């Protein structure tokens, strides 16, 4: 988060920086925090993540993999979403699949 940004601004900026997609609109999905979001990075840094997750179904642009932070970009059908994710990501994705994916 940059100084003065709203959480919505951060979500839109990060989406663009990491994927090349521009969000026309986003909707807050949920906030995640607490002891289940502890993570130890390979370099030894330890954090408790606080995550604001948004759903964006209205966007423009094309996926752009020209980013050092991104290994691979692509869209998945709900039943094909990989489950071997980093622990903080898996908490968000699993809640999304349980709440939103089952209603599609």
What pTM, to 2 d.p., does this model score? Answer: 0.82
3-state per-residue secondary structure call for the chain: CCCCCCHHHHHHHHHHHHHCCEEEEEEEEEEECCHHHEEECCCCCEEECCEEEEEEEEEECCCCCCCCCCCCCCCCCHHHCCCCCCHHHHHHHHHHHHHCHHHC
Find the length of the chain: 104
Domain parsing of the chain, residue ranges? 7-75
> How big is the chain by its Cα radius of gyration, in Å?
14
| CATH architecture of the domain with residue range 7-75 | Alpha-Beta Complex (3.90)
- Tens of pLDDT along the chain (104 residues) come to 899 999 999 999 999 998 999 999 999 999 999 998 888 889 999 999 899 999 999 999 999 877 777 778 889 888 888 888 877 888 999 999 998 866 65
Place of tokens 């609109």: 25
């Amino acid at each position: 988060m940059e100084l003065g940004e709203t959480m919505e601004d951060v979500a839109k900026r990060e989406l663009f920086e990491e994927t090349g997609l521009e969000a026309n609109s986003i909707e807050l999905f949920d906030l995640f925090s607490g002891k289940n979001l502890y993570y130890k990075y390979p370099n030894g840094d330890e954090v408790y993540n606080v995550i604001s997750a948004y759903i964006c179904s209205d966007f423009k642009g094309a996926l752009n993999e020209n980013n050092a932070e991104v290994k691979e970009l692509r869209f998945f059908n709900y039943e094909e979403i990989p489950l071997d994710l980093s622990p903080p990501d898996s908490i968000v994705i699993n809640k999304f699949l349980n709440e939103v994916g089952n209603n599609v």
